[in-house]
Structure 1
Amino acid sequence: MPYAVDFDTVSTIGLETSPVAEALAGLRANEARYFKNKYGHVFTVEPADDARDTIGWVHRILEEERGIVIASPPLEATAFEVDGIRWAYVFYENGLSVNVLYTIEDNGKRAVGFKLSDGMDIPTELSSFKFARQKSKLAGTIRGSYFVIKNEY
């Protein structure tokens, strides 16, 4: 069942099995606040079992672009389009959030972003990336990195 993420009252709904559930919920709420403030979009996620197409698209990009296979099971995902940009997010049990920004027009921005919840270690499959730190009232310290997508998806 889809869940509209509330960034005023952070909830671990759908993320309970994560060892960093509170921090991951804060990270998810931080993303929801961004999309509400920037685009007026309500950030709604659904359980991984209901979002197989979205997760498959994200995993295909990771595998084909960089040979990355995320070891942790996905818990939730979402996909939507705003202002000519296709977005996809997958939230993983270990506290990782992967997002794809894919501008629909040719020659637009296309990238994959990684965000690590406060308190989680860098996953082995992402050990080659350098992570910058960002403070968030909702999520504590978020560490993030990204790479540019080169192919068409």
Structure 2
Amino acid sequence: MPNVVDFVTVSTEGLESSPVADALAGLRANEARYFRNKYDHVFTTHPAAEVPELIEYVARVLRDERAIVIASPVLEATQFEVEGVRWTYVFHESGLSINVLYALEAGGKRAVGFKLSDGMDEPEELHAFKFARQRSKLAGTIRGSYFVVKGEY
């Protein structure tokens, strides 16, 4: 069952098992607000069990590009296309959010972004990355990093 993410009334629905559920819900709402304001797109997520192909897609990109395997289970995922860019998001129980930005046109931007929820420890798998801090009214302090995707997916 899809979940339309409300960024006005932040809900932990679907994220309750996370030890940082409130911060992760704020992070998810922050993404929803960004896509609504920038692209007029309604951000909708699905329980992980309903979209295993999206979880495998993100896992494959991480594995193939940087030999990264995330240990934390995925709670929710989504994929959509806006203005020629395919966005795939996974939200992990640990509080980690991963997105794959993939321009469908050759030569366009392609990257993987990581965002850590406020209060979560940096995952061992991501210690090689430097994280920048950003303040959000919805999510508190978000730590983020990224890398450029070289392969074709």
TM above 0.5, yes or no, is: yes
1:51 Cα shift?
1.1
* Same amino acid, percent of matched pairs: 73
Q: Secondary structure at the match of 1:9?
A: coil
Distance (Å, rounded) in 1 between the aligned partners of 2:36 and 2:59: 26
Q: Which segments of 5 or more consecutive residues in structure 2 lack a partner in the other structure?
A: none
- For 1:14-69, what per-residue CA distance to the aligned partner results, in whole angstroms no more than 9, with x for missing partners? 00000000000000000000000000000000000001111111000000000000
Match of 2:75 in 1: 75
Give 1:83 shift: 0.2
TM-score by length of structure 1 reads 1.00
| Aligned: 1:88 with 2:88 | yes
Read off the aligned partner of 1:121 and give its amino acid letter.
Answer: D
Q: Distance in 1 between matches of 2:126 and 2:18?
A: 19
Aligned pairs for 1:4-153 (under 5 A) are 4-153=4-153
- SS for the counterpart of 1:54 is helix
Number of corresponding residues:
153
TM-score by length of 2: 1.00
| Counterpart amino acid of residue 67 in structure 1 | A
Amino acid in structure 2 at the alignment position of 1:107: G
Superposed CA RMSD: 0.3
Distance 2:51 2:9 in 1: 24
Q: State the distance in 1 between where 2:130 and 2:71 align.
A: 19
Runs in 1 of length 4+ with deviation above 6 angstroms?
none
Aligned partner letter, 1:30: N
Question: Residue 58 of structure 2 aligns to a residue in which SS?
Answer: helix
* Alpha-carbon separation, structure 2, partners of 1:29 and 1:88: 16
